[in-house]
Amino acid sequence: MNRNETLFNRAKAIIPGGVNSPVRAFGSVGGIPRFIKKAEGAYVWDENDTRYIDYVGSWGPAIVGHAHPEVIEAVREASLGGLSFGAPTEGEIAIAEEIAKLVPSVEQVRLVSSGTEATMTAIRLARGYTGRDKIIKFEGCYHGHSDSLLVKAGSGLLTFGNPSSAGVPADFTKHTLVLEYNNVAQLEETFAQLGGEIACVILEPFVGNMNLVRPSENFIKALRSLTEQHGAVLIYDEVMTGFRVALGGAQSLHGITPDLTTMGKVIGGGMPLAAFGGRKDIMAAISPLGGVYQAGTLSGNPIAVAAGLKTLEIIQRHGFYENLTARTGQLVQGFTAAAQENGVQFTADSVGGMFGLYFADHTPQNYGDMARSNINAFKHFFHGMLERNVAFGPSAYEAGFVSAAHTPELIDETIAIAREVFQTMAE
């Protein structure tokens, strides 16, 4: 009996689409989702007791590996004192201090429970601080499912975005401009025409939600220069990249000091925890100090904070990022070589413990590039790997993740399996 199929049918009767987050439904790749029963290190096990080498990593948080013994013990100890209080705790201060120590642009921090909450509030804060309404986001960047961010590009340059989800009134997105990632000229023209009305620019500093896409150096420099020149707030959405691509986040690799930063995933160590922080003068506009309101009953949850603090401790140990970066590079280099051996059109890229796989003739620079890649080839690859017990995210538009638990030998094993799959694709 296939427990995954049985559970999926049962779930669809009571949960919309059978899942609590859409990509889990395998809608873009087809087939039956794997219902996960347990995870440890670099592996997950489904309800059929099949073990998979896991490159999803809970979509990024599992940087030290699943169920790391020290993280589990920290959670156990914290839970013995109670699950939540709705009151301040010392742990909240400790993790805020740790974040500020590791990310110098963050002078003050507010903890929340999800990345969506962090980015939604950071934008509200930028609007409250500047007294402006318009915001810029980039096509293909995902910043959570708040109304003003569920936007698709308009029909032309400087066209305000249109809602990309039912249930979002056009009025909620009329102040959101959607520009092309890495397009410096478009960014300059937008600021030239509307600079005095723009509250903020928000971006994924390495995109992970249209697969991994790098920003160009000119693009990053233009973002910082134009926002400073026009008094707009630059928001680095590091929910995915924070502590994943480097200890100081993407901003440390770029040499950029954003005004606000949002974080999640790694800082919770697998528990629901996120944060936003930045310049002290901007953060002073948030309640109870200022007029920008934000609240959350479970914000700074002591169990999530304990998991996050222990994870942040582990990733600061000697050689952690050097090893993580080397293993991720080993994976993408091995995949690229295996694809070339079999004549499969394929490129790959990585930064820190994050990687992208593209069935295309060049590494994508924006959403349009990614949309022109061979999505059917990805589906073939995805299922070929899954049938051989290697799990990737079930979408061609999602980045993948390596953890400290992925040994060089395990990555070599993954490359050998990928070589088999590429051979079937070449036949």
Omega before 288 within 30 of 0, i.e. cis: yes
Q: Which of 52, 142, 181, 367 is catalytic?
A: 142
Tell me how far the alpha carbon of residue 7 is from its chain's centroid.
28
Q: Which segments within 243-299 are labelled E, that is strand?
A: 260-263, 274-278
Residue 181 catalytic? no
293 assigned to active site: no
CA–CA separation, 45 vs 34, rounded Å?
9
Q: Which of 281, 232, 244, 15 is nearest to 115 (CA)?
A: 244
CB 111 within 8 A of CB 267: no
- Using H for helix, E for strand and C for coil, what is the string for 184-251? HHHHHHHHHHHHHHEEEEEECCCECECECECCCHHHHHHHHHHHHHHCCEEEEEECCCECCCECCCHH
Single-letter amino acid, residue 119: T
Rounded distance, CA 357 to CA 421, Å? 14
> Which of 237, 259, 349, 369 does the annotation list as catalytic?
237
CA distance 29 to 324: 28
Closest CA to 140 of 197, 59, 185, 206: 206
Residue recorded with tokens 């944060």 = 275
Which is catalytic among the residues 134, 265, 310, 379? 265
- List residues with catalytic annotation: 142, 237, 265
